[in-house]
Amino acid sequence: MLIKDVSLIQSGQLLRGRDILINGNRIAKIGRDLKDEDKDETIDGHGKLAIPGLVNAHTHLAMTLFRGYADDMALMPWLQEKIWPLEAKLTKEDIHWGVKLGCLEQIHFGITCYSDMYYFTEETALATKEMGLRALLSGVVFDSQPNLLIEAERFIKRWKGDKLIQPVLGPHAIYTCSEETLSWAKETAEKNDIKIHIHLSETKGEVEDCLHKHGLRPVEYLDSLGLLSDGLLAAHCIWLNESEIDLLAKRAVNVVHCPVSNLKLASGIAPVARLLDAGVNVCLGTDGASSNNNLNLFEEMKTAAIVQKNACGRPEVMRAEDIWRIATENSYRAVGLDLGLADGSLADLSLIDLRKPWLCPQSNILSLLVYSMASGVDTTIVNGKVLMNNGLIPGEAKILETAQECFLRLTS
């Protein structure tokens, strides 16, 4: 596949008139006047910007089905009165269509890889593969449902080594998993050489409970169990003290910042500028659509930047280039994949039509991407396969229709 006459970003500057040659699932070469010997597919990139695929590093994708069903509520009534009753009714078919709906939306926003934690991982994996996205999938694990541990191990066995799906362990949080469960997660992850995905320090209450129960703060507690490593994706990390921040840096933990969900649930503002200063690998996630309520990673970038500037009282922090690094390089490190727009990388990328009023004038390209993007991308390619071309995804109408039916049945 050859993408002709496209623009690229190099050292924050816009380069025009480049070609991208894709062979199989990898970028063979980026340069000028390239030829495609196979001539199987050519995409006209004129007027468009190629960006490397974005990673949504924390979500619960099937919950896209619950979008807009329950908002503006405190966390516990939201869970107890709305989300848990709906989750109790979920079938495999709901998961199939909920995941496809979430994939559809992510494709529109240039997300080529997502890191998920939810039930029914088998159905999630199958639906994700049908949609062509890359994913790190973790079956959520709670003490209250011991069968989830068995399912998690089975899922790892079945999917380890898949080209698109990376199985991951998902102990839900320190307040829903015992020391035994957390230690099991650590051992199972080590044994299988896979990552762990957890919620960490999302609320003030979690810190207070942990101090009361273990005499340690959440990050210290996880460290005492040996869970902190570069194989950990820790979502939220809002309520941290200085020594926890240093510990996260020292252990090379990947912190997944989810500012939109954190604000909407009034959970607080993660100390991201401080985390970055300490050298922590911060990346971004949308969280589930039921607490966001979309899967727009451009919105997440902008919110992360402007909220942190205000929280620090300094407009100079979290510059466009910092955010772009978080959304790309940092995320690629977190998921351990060979992504990015470079010769030899996995062919996961998107094209953005630059001929939009909100991207005019074409001044600072990173500023436009972080602060001005006000719509989706128009072409998305994952693993060398075109998933969306000029805004069109095959089968989109059928997914929207069936997801709507699932929602109506679940809420009837």
8 A C-beta contact, residue 255 and residue 237: yes
Nearer to its own copies, 194 or 377 (CB): 377
Q: How far is the CB of 60 from its own copies (least distance, A)?
A: 16
DSSP-derived letter for residue 80 is: I
Which amino acid is it at 143? D
**What is the rounded distance in angstroms from the CA atom of residue 199 to the CA atom of residue 168?**
14
Q: Which residues contact 10 (CB under 8 A, 6 or more apart)?
A: none
Nearer to its own copies, 173 or 388 (CB): 388
Q: Which residues contact 394 (CB under 8 A, 6 or more apart)?
A: none
| Alpha-carbon separation of residue 370 from 83, 200, 258, 313, 350 (angstroms) | 32, 26, 15, 20, 15
8 A C-beta contact, residue 181 and residue 141: yes
Nearer to its own copies, 71 or 208 (CB): 71
Q: How far is the CB of 260 from its own copies (least distance, A)?
A: 6
Q: How far is the CB of 89 from its own copies (least distance, A)?
A: 14
Nearer to its own copies, 254 or 293 (CB): 293
Q: How far is the CB of 290 from its own copies (least distance, A)?
A: 10
Q: Is 314 exposed, middle or buried (0-12, 13-18, 19+ CB in 10 A)?
A: exposed
Question: Residue 171: which region, alpha, beta or left (left: phi > 0; alpha: psi -120 to 50)?
Answer: beta
Q: What's CA 122's distance to the chain center, in Å?
A: 19
Nearer to its own copies, 156 or 351 (CB): 351
Which amino acid is it at 173? A
Written as six digits, the tokens of 288 are 């589930």
Closest CA to 334 of 115, 102, 109: 115
Which amino acid is it at 208? E
**What is the rounded distance in angstroms from the CA atom of residue 412 to the CA atom of residue 407?**
8
Nearer to its own copies, 338 or 401 (CB): 401
Q: How far is the CB of 63 from its own copies (least distance, A)?
A: 12
Nearer to its own copies, 118 or 155 (CB): 118
Q: How far is the CB of 360 from its own copies (least distance, A)?
A: 5
Nearer to its own copies, 73 or 249 (CB): 73
Closest CA to 133 of 116, 159, 114: 114
Q: How far is the CB of 375 from its own copies (least distance, A)?
A: 4
Nearer to its own copies, 113 or 238 (CB): 238
| Alpha-carbon separation of residue 171 from 118, 153, 185, 216, 233 (angstroms) | 10, 12, 7, 19, 11
8 A C-beta contact, residue 123 and residue 145: no
DSSP-derived letter for residue 318 is: S
Count the residues in the chain.
Answer: 412
Q: How far is the CB of 353 from its own copies (least distance, A)?
A: 11
Q: How far is the CB of 349 from its own copies (least distance, A)?
A: 20
Nearer to its own copies, 75 or 216 (CB): 75
Instruction: Check the CA dihedral 179-118-260-279 and report its sign.
Output: positive
Q: How far is the CB of 73 from its own copies (least distance, A)?
A: 6
